[in-house]
Structure 1
């Protein structure tokens, strides 16, 4: 089982009956403790969170803002992960949690500010979005709207309906008021565009979104850290389904782990499919041996420094003098030696 599958399964195991979780993990040969989604409750690394928000549905940004956590707000602002108008509201100290319309407590207000267009000028630009080539300009204008500007947009639309491309651009904004989005229309094509743009009401809408289920579990796992209060809405629906279809049935969980990597559809469909393939729960669920506890890593020991070798003064040794070869005797010397040997003279 690869790492992404393990994290997705581990997230679902957290929704199983509490008394069965360790046995389920023993059957799957995974540890119950560990990361879910891209991370567990551990602190996110900055680049990981930035990548998650950029690649996930845009609604993740507003769900994070609704936690009103200064460290998340600072990161969303620093990396430009929000529309300009929402960023300006954030820097001005507005709160985003449900029912929290007042300013942020002292010490949580960001100090950087940007220049945005006046609301009247933004609305004029939206009214000019009458053809397909103007859609990009309409989206640029819509990104400049702040919370205080939306009532003006509502009034302008009631006075004279905005063009279709302007409504499209406005409806895709993560902070568009739900009543205004509903007033733009409920046509099937309009709803399809919003789904394609990743506009979701809450994490519970992830359960009905068709696609790679691993991606859905990645976002739900991230919610344990990034938007836990909103995640509760989805888990209130998902947990009873997991308990009913999978429960503590080890084989059903094994089927789910096999199907998960390539399963495309909805997450509830995966859960019910795994339960149906595995069949009824046996009368006596076998006991599975849990993975042994990992051995603690040895403490790091600083390497020993090599002994210091003191430099010594080397004396230059003179080279030995070359040995001259003996000279060969001359003919007269050889004759004299012969005479001396004959006469017996030394």
Structure 2
């Protein structure tokens, strides 16, 4: 049996955009550029079982979209990537579901359950809201925030903040959690410094924003190329955001697609800029 070929990151990236045009155009472009056909789905899945060196560049919100599948295998795969988020790790270790409307609990590998972060003493002494109100440093805030796990927990802390604002450190630690509900996060702040913190923490509104406002383009498109496996319920949002750009600037022009493939690896800007640049050069 022949080994399944694994596409390069450039081939994956261009391939994602080729999915946004009709099959006839995509076939002509592949013939013109020498790009391979779509990667075998089994190969994509095998890719995800290996070390995710490129996943280190993922915004934290993208990790959440993966966890929203509530797939124990994907959760286990994401475990190393979410090493710096004790709240997400605790939720995964306890089988807490992330998908809308799901109640769980999910099946969890014993090895992950045994790696749940230590429960902070402040939570044991003061409870969920009490621990958040007692924080005096960012470290304490992160520890206390790591105990906010379920939808009920989030609404509890949101209501507590409305009743009497939580300390700034607590608000910060909660707001940069990717699973913080948008309505709860809105209550924590909206000023420029606050939104900058969210951006630095990798909080993204959705796949459309990720596709159009993050870069480099090859990194983003490489992730989106396996979106059908990682976040199948949401990848269409990225496709819908990019489709008009691809149609207007690349379209059926084989030359424009060839330029795109040549620029992809070294282009440092975002995907819209790359697509428009390739179209302009051609």
TM more than 0.5 = yes
1:192 partnered with 2:196: yes
Select the residue among 119, 126, 132 that pairs with 1:126.
132
Q: Unmatched 5+ residue regions in structure 1?
A: 279-346
**Aligned mates of 2:167, 2:266 — CA distance in 1:** 41
1:70 paired residue number: 72
The number of equivalent residue pairs is 268
The superposition leaves residues 181-206 of structure 1 with CA deviations (integer Å, 9 ceiling, x where unpaired) of 11112112211211111011221121
Select the residue among 269, 274, 281 that pairs with 2:278.
274
1:13 partnered with 2:18: yes
* Structure-2 change in CA distance of 1:76 and 1:29 (3 Å): closer
Q: Unmatched 5+ residue regions in structure 2?
A: 1-6
Select the residue among 206, 211, 214 that pairs with 1:207.
211
**Aligned mates of 1:213, 1:238 — CA distance in 2:** 12
Post-superposition shift, 1:178?
0.9
2:100 paired residue number: 98
Matches within 5 A, 1:284-323: none
- 3-state SS in 1 of match to 2:190: coil
**Aligned mates of 1:79, 1:270 — CA distance in 2:** 28
* Structure-2 change in CA distance of 1:33 and 1:233 (3 Å): closer
Q: Answer yes or no: is the 8 Å Cα contact 1:93–1:110 preserved in 2.
A: no
1:152 partnered with 2:153: no
Name the TM-score, length of structure 2 as normaliser: 0.82
- 3-state SS in 1 of match to 2:264: helix
Select the residue among 135, 139, 154 that pairs with 1:136.
139
Q: Answer yes or no: is the 8 Å Cα contact 2:20–2:246 preserved in 1.
A: yes
Q: Answer yes or no: is the 8 Å Cα contact 1:40–1:221 preserved in 2.
A: no
The superposition leaves residues 72-111 of structure 1 with CA deviations (integer Å, 9 ceiling, x where unpaired) of 12333587647444444444444322233x2257xx3556
* Structure-2 change in CA distance of 1:151 and 1:45 (3 Å): closer
Name the TM-score, length of structure 1 as normaliser: 0.68
2:4 paired residue number: none
Q: Answer yes or no: is the 8 Å Cα contact 1:85–1:116 preserved in 2.
A: no
1:232 partnered with 2:236: yes
- C-alpha RMSD over aligned residues: 2.9
1:341 paired residue number: none
